[in-house]
Amino acid sequence: MNNFLEQETLPSAPSSESSQVRSLSSTHRRLRLITWAIAVLALIAGIMLLASDLFLATLPHAPISAAPLLLIGAAYLAFQAYIRSGPLDLFRALIVSAAFILWGIDQMLPSGWFAMTLGDIVIMLYVIDLAWLMIDRLKQRA
């Protein structure tokens, strides 16, 4: 875990571009740190969710179940910014991130038409993503 915070080395650039490279490197390191931090928080929130189910059943469940979903959706968005995905990959990642974030929101909504519809949207986003993945793989093997 010590290595994830180490400074990445970038090739030397001409002096006119050096401030731009330093700024990019600094932003890149921040995105990496943000992605790590939010992902670790999501894992901790998931552990707390399971622990609350086993030991703390008196706590309100909605925010505890929403937290890991919201956090991992946000972490995946930060990760996409960090790896600088291309437009199509970024769009696909937005579908998955939106599904997790909307699912987290859905966890906190009272039962009713809106919560049901939002849940159905989340299902459809996951179906789109998985179908897209399978179709891409089938095309590659053809």
Reported confidence tier of residue 2, pLDDT bands at 50, 70, 90: very low
Which tens digits make up the pLDDT trace of 33-87? 999 999 999 999 999 999 988 887 777 889 999 999 999 999 999 999 899 888 9
Q: Which position has the token pair 């928080």?
A: 41
C-alpha to C-alpha distance for 99 and 28, rounded to whole angstroms: 25
Residue 13 has pLDDT above 50, yes or no: no
Copy the structure tokens of residue 70. Answer: 């919201």
Annotated domain spans of the chain: 16-141
The model's pLDDT over 94-122, given as tens digits with 9 standing for 90+, comes to: 999 999 999 999 999 999 999 999 999 99
Show Cβ contacts of residue 39 under 8 Å, excluding neighbours closer than 6 positions.
71, 72, 75, 79
